[in-house]
A and B are shown apart, each in its own frame.
Chain A
Amino acid sequence: MEKKTTTVNLTEEEFVHPGNRACSGCGLSIVYRMGLKALGKNTILVVPPSCLTVLQGLYPVASSKLPVVNVTFASTGAAATGVRGAMKALKKTDVNVVAWAGDGGTSDIGIQALSGACERGEDIIYICYDNEAYMNTGVQRSGTTPQGVLTTTTPIKGKLQKKKDVPSIIAAHGIGYVATASAAFPLDFYDKVKKATTLPGPKYIHVHTPCPPGWSFESRYTIKIGKLAVQTGLFDLYEIENGQFRLTGASEKLIGQKRKPVTDYFATQGRFKSLDKELVAGVQEQIDAKWANY
């Protein structure tokens, strides 16, 4: 197994300028900084409308030191394809082409273009940061919003449907690398991005990013809540490499261990306040059944 990155040997080089427009406690700002470190200088980013568009700043200033092309909401996968196509035409072989989109831009409006890029086997890295709703437009439900969550478009009863399992959908394309990660475990994310830069074809990384205003918690709890999502078994860290599934990092360590109850996680955020006992019990059952298979 590859050597894991630690805070001791993590590169000090930064590709995000100090100061940006992200909210305080933003999970995305953690993974963006770590992800860009892992990608390095020779990278081109493709970004659809999302919190990242805001984080990157207003014309004519920019918060990152990498070239970025902002594209339409639905076209991220196609745009990354176009950048890779151009790199091939220009015989530039050493550039990372990286699409970086939110969960709405990935699981809903952007899934067609992402699916097309995966089917064609485009040599791109696609990073979806999942804050589980349309946070940039003010917390509306998305395909990856969990069941029961209050959003501005599910304001009273909470979202009636389950969270869309995007990594599984992408894995079903048979691409070589699918991974999940969490802003609460940035070094694990760093290593997964780093690995993605070494593999051919499409790479998909789905990273869970707690959002203080959208999830309704104090900004100092971002890491704690991100960790709880993993420790309760609600959000699992794993890799699917050439079809082989394995839990990684904090999730791997949970095998055979007692997980924290999901209520611990639900209790930390205002967005779960209309969950009833039945739903919580149902979720706990689903999580237990899922983990029984690991």
Chain B
Amino acid sequence: MHIIDSGNVAAATGVKLSRAQVIAAYPITPQTPLTEKLSEFVESEELDAQYIPVESEHSAMGVCIAASTAGTRAFTATSANGLLYMNEQLHWAVGARLPIVMCVANRGIGAPWTVWNDQQDSIAQRDVGWIQIYANDHQQIIDSVIKAFRLAQAVSIPVMVCYDGYLLSHTYMPFEPPEQEKVDNFLPPFATKHFLDPENPGNFNPVTLPDIRPGVDGKIMPGYIEIRHNLQMDLLAALDVYEEIDTDYKKEFGRGGHPFVEEYKCDDADFVAVCIGSLSYHLRDVIDSMREKNVKIGVMGVQIYRPFPNEAITRALSGRKHVIVFEKALSYGNQGALYADIKSALYSCEKRPTIQNFILGLGGREIKTGQLLEVLTEACNSPGTAEDTPRWIGLKL
């Protein structure tokens, strides 16, 4: 049965259905209604969880790190500067290989203050080692949260589920919450191999030397570099795990089937617009109107950004004439981060398309359909003129 509510409520419902056991919460716009909803679920006893209203985002992740180490399913959510305030803790959570799930309602970063949407917050955290999944609508938010808990547990790596602030977090849209019984079947109770236990004591996250070292039983244990190498290997392997999880989800709930990239009218496309988040749905209208004028164009939304789905990207874009990457974030001093990643993915393919980068919507600047149509039309008319310097859409200097 469909309900109509906000993206934050879709996320909270996903967390409830996933039976999170410890929830740490600190308010920040536009994430706040998500944790408010969770407090309601816990107080009304719809969700049997510990709701901990902490004093900062750094502490929110501190609670999740400890609760996860102690053997429980932990969740928190944040936005913008709150996510940045967690940065140290994000590294710690992944280094400790904890299956924490966090929602990020994407928002621009201060200074100067802004509460509106762009994706600089989570893109700036791309290198911490967390898995990053991006949802394009409310249904994807709730489905991604449930899948994220299973993925995190399967690979012992924390997962961020990101969605656009306000555009999704506060907008009301229909979505279908899966049945609890089916979710329980899809997502078994939380269990980890190692956890804090007086019956089986261990020292978690101690000082580790650069080199390998034998333990008291003579068994050789990894040094720091081996531990980090294992993380990298497991992150890359997580793509296959996520594909399996997505396939299972589709089997159970009928939704999914595009874990890495979601393509729209791309089958015969010479031109492909690429982006992350709700913009890919916004772009569908533009693509439709260009298709009416017989321009062979499609749009591709990147669904998982870390680990980067190199193969899926190469498969989707190889042999196209021209790729246009739209981004609501930058790797400052260089280019759009997604743009650079896509170029890197395409480097090894023989039929390399030309590629172009547009920056737009920073700090919630309205993205007008007319502007998108204009730049896409120009890009399709003269694809050979692509520059490597990103162009900014709607800039009023």
Contacts and interface: CB of A to CB of B under 8 A. Distances in A.
Interface in B32-55: 48-50, 52-55
Contact of A75 (B48, B52, B65, B71): B65
A57 B63 contact: no
B74 interface: yes
A71 B92 CA distance: 8
Contacts of A119: 55
B59 A69 contact: no
A19 to B, nearest CB: 12
B209 A79 contact: no
Nearest to B197: A67
A112 B59 contact: yes
A263 B94 CA distance: 51
B202 A79 contact: no
Give the one of B59, B204, B207 with max A CB within 10 A: B59
A86 interface: yes
Contacts of B68: 82, 86
B203 interface: yes
A267 interface: no
A88 interface: yes
A289 interface: no
Contact of B198 (A44, A70, A80, A90): A44
Contacts of A62: 202-203, 206
A48 to B, nearest CB: 10
Interface in A64-102: 64-72, 74-75, 77-83, 85-90, 95
B208 A59 contact: yes
B228 to A, nearest CB: 14
Contacts of B62: 71-72, 74-75, 77-79, 81-82, 113
A285 to B, nearest CB: 38
Contacts of A87: 70
B201 A67 contact: yes
A1 interface: no
Given A59-B206, A64-B203, A82 B58 contact: no
A115 interface: yes
B72 interface: yes
A82 B74 contact: yes
Interface string B376-393: 000000000000000000
A53 interface: yes
B66 A59 contact: no
A195 interface: no
A71 B68 CA distance: 12
Nearest to A88: B50
Nearest to B205: A70
A89 B59 contact: no
B77 to A, nearest CB: 16
A54 interface: yes
A105 to B, nearest CB: 13
A292 interface: no
A90 B71 contact: yes
Contact of A58 (B24, B74, B206): B206
B67 interface: yes
B66 A81 contact: yes
A76 to B, nearest CB: 8
B216 to A, nearest CB: 6
Given A61-B215, A68-B204, A90 B59 contact: no
Given A58-B208, A75-B62, A78-B59, A69 B53 contact: no
A60 interface: yes
B22 interface: yes
Contacts of B55: 78, 112-113, 115-116, 119
Given A44-B196, A89-B50, A83 B206 contact: no
A41 interface: yes
B56 A116 contact: yes
8 contacts: A60-B221, A72-B88, A75-B89, A79-B63, A81-B59, A86-B21, A88-B50, A113-B55
Interface of A: 41-44, 46, 53-54, 56-62, 64-72, 74-75, 77-83, 85-90, 95, 112-113, 115-116, 119-120
Which A-B residue pairs are the 5 nearest by beta carbons? A82-B66, A78-B62, A75-B62, A116-B55, A86-B70
Given A60-B215, A70-B204, A83-B70, 17 more contacts: A41-B198, A57-B203, A59-B209, A67-B203, A72-B58, A72-B62, A78-B66, A81-B62, A82-B63, A82-B66, A85-B24, A85-B52, A86-B71, A112-B59, A113-B55, A113-B58, A115-B55
